[in-house]
């Protein structure tokens, strides 16, 4: 998932973004996409290139959602932005994005309704889903004494010292909540305290907290860890290609899932707004989505595009019945700034062993 535990670094990112905004951003008539690095390939927006052959978009990149939000909040000028769903509400609450007129998008009706709903606030559509993926448990089947079957098994003493989880406050909070049968998005103060205690109880089983997916893959390949929690499907594909004996679980509580998508800056108007709609319709194009999914081993936000994914990816992500796959996935939901502060504080205390 594209979530990190670096919200406490937002101040740093804000200062960086302020410096960048002084020397970058959307100049008059310029069309700027605030985007994940690597997602700028024309293969993902060819219809836009056909409509504006001499006016390609400019890109400004971010490394994670905390950085993207801080950069947008600092006043950096962008036309379109591509954050993930748990951050979408913050953009809306802070007036950083404008409602999307979906009637201007010929490909909108192809999107999965449940994913579309995640970007709807107060009856208006602010974000459009585009890419999604799983988080699950990646297990060295040849090393574990017994195969786990649930997120709750991360706490099983037989795996002590051979577990690594993603260093993300929200991710850890949600996993612990699911094992306690708590709704992480409607948790009381008592619930949050129980989640904190549950995460403290996990520490004896952990070798470390992983940060980068390449680090996770290396630890699994070397046998340093037996269970990599919150692993993405592309890590699974990489290890399979290397001949490592791994299984990607469907936990009893369900796989976790992330969704990312596009929004339009509140300041985008005129010709830039026309380009924004052309760009959004281009990335929502069936072939554009499929091009991306086939490149990154991710799910895409329409069933028609899913049909164009390579058979290997369909099998890898269990997408023979994509609607069923979505229904069996617990997707991260948007959270408020107050919730994020609470979750981050809990994670800070857990890592400090308090």
Ordered structural domains, the chain, with CATH: 7-132+257-331 (3.40.190.10), 135-253 (3.40.190.10)
159 and 227 Cβ atoms separated by less than 8 Å:
yes
**Average of pLDDT values for 290-300?**
94
Cross-strand pairs, 133: 258
pLDDT for the residue 9: 37
171 and 294 Cβ atoms separated by less than 8 Å:
no
Q: Which residue has the higher pLDDT, 38 or 180?
A: 180
Mark residue 138 as left, alpha or beta (left: phi above 0; alpha: psi -120 to 50; beta: remaining): beta
Question: How far apart, in whole angstroms, are the C-alpha atoms of residue 217 and residue 246?
Answer: 11
Q: Is the pLDDT of residue 27 over 80?
A: no
pLDDT for the residue 4: 39
Q: Which residue has the higher pLDDT, 15 or 256?
A: 256
pLDDT for the residue 354: 63
**Average of pLDDT values for 48-68?**
94
Lowest mean pLDDT among 73-82, 116-125, 335-344: 335-344
Question: How far apart, in whole angstroms, are the C-alpha atoms of residue 340 and residue 348?
Answer: 12
pLDDT band at 335 (very low <50, low <70, confident <90, very high): confident
**Average of pLDDT values for 9-17?**
38
The set of residues, in sequence order, having a beta carbon less than 8 Å from that of 140 and lying 6+ positions away, is: 220, 223, 225, 226, 227, 244, 245, 246
Question: How far apart, in whole angstroms, are the C-alpha atoms of residue 128 and residue 174?
Answer: 24
Quickly list H helices, the chain.
10-23, 46-51, 65-73, 85-93, 113-117, 169-179, 189-202, 213-222, 233-241, 270-283, 286-296, 303-306, 311-316, 322-327, 337-351
| Tens-digit pLDDT profile for residues 198-212 | 999 999 999 999 988
Question: How far apart, in whole angstroms, are the C-alpha atoms of residue 351 and residue 167?
Answer: 9
63 and 7 Cβ atoms separated by less than 8 Å:
no
| Tens-digit pLDDT profile for residues 87-105 | 999 999 999 999 999 999 9
What global pTM score does this model have?
0.83
Q: Which residue has the higher pLDDT, 268 or 334?
A: 268
**Average of pLDDT values for 238-266?**
95
pLDDT band at 337 (very low <50, low <70, confident <90, very high): confident
The set of residues, in sequence order, having a beta carbon less than 8 Å from that of 349 and lying 6+ positions away, is: 196
pLDDT for the residue 23: 39
| Tens-digit pLDDT profile for residues 146-181 | 999 999 999 999 999 999 999 999 999 999 999 999
233 and 316 Cβ atoms separated by less than 8 Å:
yes
| Tens-digit pLDDT profile for residues 216-244 | 999 999 999 999 999 988 889 899 999 99
Q: Is the pLDDT of residue 25 over 90?
A: no
Q: What is the DSSP letter of 204?
A: G
259 and 84 Cβ atoms separated by less than 8 Å:
yes
78 and 33 Cβ atoms separated by less than 8 Å:
yes
Q: What is the DSSP letter of 108?
A: G
């Amino acid at each position: 998932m594209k979530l990190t535990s670096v919200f406490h670094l937002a101040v740093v990112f804000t200062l960086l973004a302020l410096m960048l905004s002084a020397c970058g951003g959307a100049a008059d008539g310029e069309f700027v996409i605030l985007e994940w690095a690597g997602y700028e390939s024309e293969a993902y927006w060819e219809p836009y290139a056909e409509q504006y052959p001499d006016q390609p978009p400019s890109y400004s990149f971010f490394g994670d959602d905390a950085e993207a939000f801080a950069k947008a909040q600092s006043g950096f000028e962008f036309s379109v932005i591509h954050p993930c769903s748990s951050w979408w509400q913050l953009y809306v609450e802070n007036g950083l994005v404008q409602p999307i007129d979906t009637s201007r998008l010929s490909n909108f009706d192809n999107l999965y309704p449940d994913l579309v709903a995640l970007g709807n606030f107060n009856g208006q559509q602010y974000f459009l889903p585009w890419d999604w993926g799983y988080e699950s448990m990646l297990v060295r089947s040849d090393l574990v004494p017994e195969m786990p079957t649930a997120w709750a098994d991360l706490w099983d003493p037989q795996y002590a010292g051979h577990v690594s989880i993603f260093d993300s406050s929200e991710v850890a909070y949600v996993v612990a909540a699911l094992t306690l049968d708590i709704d992480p998005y409607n948790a009381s103060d008592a619930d949050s305290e129980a989640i904190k205690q549950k995460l403290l109880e996990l520490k004896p089983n952990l070798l470390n907290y992983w940060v980068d997916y390449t680090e996770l893959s290396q630890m699994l390949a070397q046998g340093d860890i037996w269970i990599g929690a919150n692993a993405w499907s592309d890590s699974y594909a990489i290890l399979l290609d290397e001949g490592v004996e791994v299984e990607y679980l469907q936990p009893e509580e369900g796989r976790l899932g992330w969704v990312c998508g596009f929004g339009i800056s509140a300041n985008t108007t005129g010709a830039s707004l026309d380009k924004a709609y052309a760009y959004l319709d281009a990335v929502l194009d069936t072939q554009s989505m499929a091009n991306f999914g086939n490149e990154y081993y991710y799910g895409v936000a329409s069933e028609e595009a899913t049909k164009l994914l390579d058979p290997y990816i369909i099998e890898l992500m269990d997408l023979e019945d994509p609607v069923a796959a979505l229904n069996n996935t617990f997707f991260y939901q948007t959270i408020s700034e107050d919730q994020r502060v609470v979750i981050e504080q809990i994670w800070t205390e857990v890592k400090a062993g308090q």
